[in-house]
Structure 1
Amino acid sequence: MTGTLVEVTDLAVTFPAGDDPAGRAGVRAVDGISFSLAPGRALGIVGESGSGKSTVAAALLDLHRGTGARVEGTVRVDGHDVLAAPEAELRRLRGGTAAMIFQDPLSALDPYHAIGDQIAEVHRVHRPDASRRTARARAVAALDRVGIADAARRARSRPHEFSGGMRQRALLAMALACEPRLLIADEPTTALDVTVQAQILDLLHELRTETGTGLILVTHDLGVVAGGVDEVLVMRAGRAVEHGPVGEVLGSPAAPYTRELLAAVPRVDAVRPRPAVPAPRTPGPPAGEPPLLEAVGLRREFGPRRARTTAVDDVSLTVRAGETLGLVGESGSGKTTLGRMLVRLLDPTAGTLRYRGREIGSLGERALRPIRREVQMVFQDPASSLNPRRTIGESVADPLRAAGGQDGPAIVRRARELLERVGLDPDWYHRHPHELSGGQRQRVGIARALAPGPRLLVCDEPVSALDVTTQAQVMELLGELRRELGLSLVFIAHDLAVVRAVSDRVAVMRSGRIVEEGPVDSVYEDPQHPYTQGLLAAVPVLDPQAAADRRVLRAAA
């Protein structure tokens, strides 16, 4: 195919300040962006959070219309002047000519209606002459096309009945319902584990290869663009800092900022120096020294007796003083449930849990209180774990108040010290969570976990939604805290490269069980279990040719 599918010239987007609703002043989120895209080609737009990349994606369908934002420049999609198009033309364009795949399928899908009905509705909006039967058949065909098994039956399911990867496939099916010429995918794989991420990226590549659909892929993950696009546009603070073929940009970056991004990417094949910890011994810890935390035969079931689901099944592990145990596995493997049992936010259905040699799996709440101060959890989503109505300083101070023994001014001083310790301005004590970035909110979550003076932190996906530089900063912070405070960590993640960068030992979970465990370098360099081998083979790589080779191997498997 020839011609230009997308032409963006001098795009600028300004969001109004609170005292200037007309948008004449305010935040310049995008400033002078230009690029073009031919049919069947793919462009990756990458950058940190706040770089303006999602703002550019939204402008391609003029989703800023009616928001108060001031949009300047020219955006043409398949010959349509998007910014000047009347509402009727814009409605036809959205979904019919160009379709968007959003980051969070749970917020993009209606929880009350069946997946198939929602896809069929999109088809009927853009094909008003289509019958309900035709639209329904189209929805089933679209679900089948994106790899949903037993599509006719699953079309009757609601979003909560799908896994995260299946919901993302359903969004892709919805986007494909009207056979658009352009797909705009905004962080479509951010919350997915590596195998599902690889499946979605392979599917996008297959679709554009077969149909000539153009793709604009917005992401902060450079490994994602390496295997999925032809060209890369790197953004920072609303501006383009580098633009070119993916092999050149990732292989020989010209801009210092691009080099910084690449340097911050954790590598699954990187061996790092590790602090000295007691050498592992099989079985059990060194003689006379009980492990800090020990789980033996842990099991957790959910649901009524006749229809029980086993989330964790006969798991045994140890965490020794001063070490980091990585816990990896796909979504649904049971790793978060296990983490919550380790801090006794969930009670085990069976098995034994010991802390410093003392059995704590069956202790009541009063007996658990002193142990809770020493075993804390850092949650995946700080936005939901922080009270939006309380200031961040008060959230950090709450555990100090619960512990007692300090007066009000001393508690405030200590909370400010903790904010400063995790790299935040102590004068932000009175700010609320919505005033902070994702990485800053995660630092607040870490400060709150540190407040009681713990010896063990269980970190559940603490960097999964962060861009690579912020991710690296949070990982470095956890490493500093471990060294300076003598902390032990259980680091739960689906990102194998991140786990290798921070862990001394690793345990691999599948379907509620640990299938492989050992020193992290040994497991990564010589995995014994086929499941571990499959996980490592699905990890994105920064070499476009190697990524293409892996895609061919996955297709042949």
Structure 2
Amino acid sequence: MTAPLTRAPATAEATADPLVELSDLTVTFPATGGAGAVRAVDGLSLTLRPGGALGIVGESGSGKSTVAATLLDLHRGTGARTEGGVRVAGTDVLAASEAELRALRGATAAMIFQDPLSSLDPYHSLGDQIAEVHRVHRPGVSRRAARARAVEVLDRVGIPDAARRARSRPHEFSGGMRQRALIAMALACEPRLIIADEPTTALDVTVQAQILDLLHTLRTETGTGLLLVTHDLGVVAGSVDEVLVMRGGRAVEHGPVAEVLGAPREPYTRELLAAVPRIGTARENPPHAGAEHTGEGRADGPARPAATVTVTDRTPDPAPDGADVAAPLLEVHGLRREFGRRGPLGTALGADRTVAVDGVSLTVAAGETLGLVGESGSGKTTLGRMLVRLLDPTDGTLRYRGRDLSALGERALRPLRSELQMVFQDPVSSLNPRRTIGESIADPLRATGGLDDATVVRRARELLDRVGLDPAWYHRYPHEFSGGQRQRVGIARALAPGPRLLVCDEPVSALDVTTQAQVMELLAELRRDLGLSVVLIAHDLAVVRAAGDRVAVMRAGRIVEEGPVDTVYDHPRHPYTQGLLAAVPVLDPREAAERRALRARA
């Protein structure tokens, strides 16, 4: 049990003045890559009082993250033109000196960024990084006290064995654990304002609930204000007092969260709510039913018919001699993966060895979607990487189309690489920042051979269009896109060589709800048209219910429950599965508050 927060709640005098005040804010980014200037925020005004919580929601590219970054003037020096008024805790941000901004950032207003991997220093331990932030803003604090504070906040955000894990570096954590560390860093100096840009995007539902409960406690006990940027409407339902819906840089609807979510006035808000997958709704047309594709529209433009994409032509290979043609496409038995050091002659070194996947057995049929769900650190991503042989199993067997891949070397695996593809969780680290997005998609097509350059470019543009991006953006670079747009580029790249098995590691976790629906429909259509098999790794249980045929629930490296998706969701047998389902966010603010109260009493 952690100690209560010590900073006193805001006084009545402090609450008289707004904590955040934006007046007619406009942010314009300069022209790049042959494209014209982009007005990311257009005439936005809002006010946030101390202790209040405001959620900003909207599709990718709507300007949400730009607003969050402007509160700390993070666009200074980038060439962006910012106009209007921006005041945070009495500071005129746009007129502030560098010294005033340094005093504001971290101590008065702290930001939790969307992408933890690019926000953390890979060479230093997490404890040292948090301690450094604390000492910068608390000059009289000793190194020992700063390290103790780092352990305290890591423990508060739910990192187990915080004293030991504080000595770990970012690469030793899962995506969700790294996000928790970022939140801990923001809490280190007990700021008056927390600006959270998609703070729970990479978190599983149970840890998401824990983090949101923590932010709620911080706000109620200390008067800390919260500005929450998210594409998850379920997150805002239980976390904020008011919600602002943005589209194309403008405010579409603004009001109390219960009114906006319960009785939205604007058609766009109603469209967002209609696109949210519901955990308790069985699928009317399961993926195997072959429901007719109705087309998809780009996230930041009007709906239009989907383009036809021609993937790499391939004549089906005959089954290996002696193989059963009715056998599963993929079959694993007793799959195990350990990390860490080994002693002499390969003997294990006890505590220095971590078992990430522990004796997993499962099958994936041709044309099937298997969902993998579980908390961060449960082994989902490690298992997914082994399925496409990006990681070698420590033990167990992995058979693909009747062929044992477990012990194959890279040369023998090379002909199968185009058939086994993966969509990675983190689009920032998986895309080359020095190559345009079009070239990143074209590279796998060129690697297959036999295609002239004009055909490669045409197919890459078609794939951009298919995932909801403008083909004219072929020559733009990853840094010019939002997190959700970069994820769509990663999906297009994985689809380029025409895989038979696609392992998707959180493919829609960074996407808004309407784009989620588009991408999942795209995967469903490709599955129907090409017989594509999909392993869908996700912490969003509602997405898995909408897209999966079967689901496997992982905990501590093992599968604790598996079966048809509707059966498992409607009648979960294992207590762990029941807990996951109970932690899924709901759209009703009243029900969300009731669930939070129940968790507090547990």
Please state which band the TM-score falls in when normalised by the shorter chain. Answer: 0.7 to 0.9
Superposition map of 1:344-363 within 5 A: 344-363=389-408
Residue aligning to 2:23: 10
**Aligned residue among 268, 275, 296 for 1:257:** 268
Report how far residue 436 of structure 1 moved: 5.1
| Aligned equivalents of 1:16, 1:427: Cα separation in 2 | 18
Report how far residue 556 of structure 1 moved: 1.8
Report how far residue 156 of structure 1 moved: 5.2
Cα RMSD between the aligned structures?
Answer: 3.1
**Aligned residue among 61, 76, 87 for 2:87:** 76
| Aligned equivalents of 2:403, 2:158: Cα separation in 1 | 49
**Aligned residue among 274, 278, 284 for 1:267:** 278
Residue aligning to 2:515: 470
| Aligned equivalents of 2:245, 2:549: Cα separation in 1 | 34
Of 349-358 and 63-72, deviating more is 63-72
Residue aligning to 1:284: none
Cα distance, 1:33–1:338 mapped onto 2, change above 3 Å: same
Cα distance, 1:189–1:428 mapped onto 2, change above 3 Å: closer
Cα distance, 1:249–1:343 mapped onto 2, change above 3 Å: same
1:466-492, Cα deviation, whole Å (9 max, x unpaired): 222222211111111112222221111
Report how far residue 522 of structure 1 moved: 0.6
Of 264-273 and 407-416, deviating more is 407-416
Cα distance, 1:177–1:446 mapped onto 2, change above 3 Å: closer
Residue aligning to 1:550: 595
| Aligned equivalents of 2:384, 2:107: Cα separation in 1 | 44
| Aligned equivalents of 2:451, 2:138: Cα separation in 1 | 67
Given that 2:30 and 2:80 are in contact with CA atoms closer than 8 Å, whether structure 1 keeps it comes out as no
Given that 2:177 and 2:376 are in contact with CA atoms closer than 8 Å, whether structure 1 keeps it comes out as no
Instruction: For residue 95 of structure 1, give the secondary structure of its aligned residue in structure 2.
Output: coil
Report how far residue 315 of structure 1 moved: 1.2
Given that 2:374 and 2:553 are in contact with CA atoms closer than 8 Å, whether structure 1 keeps it comes out as yes
Residue aligning to 2:578: 533
| Aligned equivalents of 1:418, 1:163: Cα separation in 2 | 30
Residue aligning to 1:323: 368
| Aligned equivalents of 1:439, 1:78: Cα separation in 2 | 31
Superposition map of 1:331-480 within 5 A: 331-412=376-457, 414-416=459-461, 418-419=463-464, 422=467, 430-434=475-479, 438-480=483-525
Residue aligning to 1:282: none
Cα distance, 1:186–1:445 mapped onto 2, change above 3 Å: closer
Given that 1:8 and 1:33 are in contact with CA atoms closer than 8 Å, whether structure 2 keeps it comes out as no
Where structure 2 has 5 or more consecutive residues not aligned to the other structure, the ranges are 1-11, 291-323
| Aligned equivalents of 1:259, 1:450: Cα separation in 2 | 32
| Aligned equivalents of 1:260, 1:415: Cα separation in 2 | 30
TM-score by length of 1: 0.87
Instruction: For residue 215 of structure 1, give the secondary structure of its aligned residue in structure 2.
Output: strand
| Aligned equivalents of 2:147, 2:484: Cα separation in 1 | 43
| Aligned equivalents of 1:442, 1:170: Cα separation in 2 | 22
Given that 2:153 and 2:185 are in contact with CA atoms closer than 8 Å, whether structure 1 keeps it comes out as yes
Amino acid at match of 2:52: R
TM-score by length of 2: 0.81
Cα distance, 1:154–1:383 mapped onto 2, change above 3 Å: closer
Given that 1:326 and 1:491 are in contact with CA atoms closer than 8 Å, whether structure 2 keeps it comes out as yes
Report how far residue 527 of structure 1 moved: 0.8
1:107-157, Cα deviation, whole Å (9 max, x unpaired): 444444454554444444444455556655555555555555666665555
Given that 1:4 and 1:37 are in contact with CA atoms closer than 8 Å, whether structure 2 keeps it comes out as no
Given that 1:11 and 1:75 are in contact with CA atoms closer than 8 Å, whether structure 2 keeps it comes out as no
Superposition map of 1:85-100 within 5 A: 85-100=96-111
1:322-362, Cα deviation, whole Å (9 max, x unpaired): 22111112222222222222222223222222223333333
Superposition map of 1:98-497 within 5 A: 98-130=109-141, 135=146, 139=150, 142-143=153-154, 146=157, 158-160=169-171, 164-165=175-176, 167-272=178-283, 273-276=285-288, 289-303=326-340, 304=342, 305=346, 306-307=348-349, 308-412=353-457, 414-416=459-461, 418-419=463-464, 422=467, 430-434=475-479, 438-497=483-542
Instruction: For residue 39 of structure 1, give the secondary structure of its aligned residue in structure 2.
Output: coil
**Aligned residue among 20, 27, 48 for 2:38:** 27
Report how far residue 10 of structure 1 moved: 2.1
Given that 2:53 and 2:228 are in contact with CA atoms closer than 8 Å, whether structure 1 keeps it comes out as yes
Report how far residue 18 of structure 1 moved: 4.6
Cα distance, 1:474–1:264 mapped onto 2, change above 3 Å: same
Cα distance, 1:86–1:345 mapped onto 2, change above 3 Å: closer
Give % identity.
80
Given that 2:60 and 2:484 are in contact with CA atoms closer than 8 Å, whether structure 1 keeps it comes out as no
| Aligned equivalents of 1:435, 1:457: Cα separation in 2 | 27
Cα distance, 1:386–1:529 mapped onto 2, change above 3 Å: same
Residue aligning to 1:22: none
Of 192-201 and 430-439, deviating more is 430-439
Given that 2:183 and 2:199 are in contact with CA atoms closer than 8 Å, whether structure 1 keeps it comes out as no
- How many residue pairs get aligned? The number is 544
Report how far residue 277 of structure 1 moved: 6.9
Cα distance, 1:414–1:64 mapped onto 2, change above 3 Å: closer
Of 479-488 and 498-507, deviating more is 479-488
1:198-241, Cα deviation, whole Å (9 max, x unpaired): 11101010111111222111212111111111111111121111
Cα distance, 1:402–1:162 mapped onto 2, change above 3 Å: closer
Of 197-206 and 288-297, deviating more is 288-297
Residue aligning to 2:312: none
| Aligned equivalents of 1:103, 1:236: Cα separation in 2 | 19
Report how far residue 525 of structure 1 moved: 0.9
Residue aligning to 2:311: none
| Aligned equivalents of 1:158, 1:385: Cα separation in 2 | 19
1:359-381, Cα deviation, whole Å (9 max, x unpaired): 33333445444443433323333
Given that 1:96 and 1:126 are in contact with CA atoms closer than 8 Å, whether structure 2 keeps it comes out as yes
Of 342-351 and 370-379, deviating more is 370-379
Given that 2:550 and 2:562 are in contact with CA atoms closer than 8 Å, whether structure 1 keeps it comes out as yes
Superposition map of 1:27-46 within 5 A: 27-46=38-57
1:48-88, Cα deviation, whole Å (9 max, x unpaired): 22222222222323333444433333333333433344444
Given that 1:75 and 1:81 are in contact with CA atoms closer than 8 Å, whether structure 2 keeps it comes out as yes
Amino acid at match of 1:246: V
Of 56-65 and 384-393, deviating more is 384-393
| Aligned equivalents of 1:534, 1:114: Cα separation in 2 | 32
Given that 1:186 and 1:218 are in contact with CA atoms closer than 8 Å, whether structure 2 keeps it comes out as yes
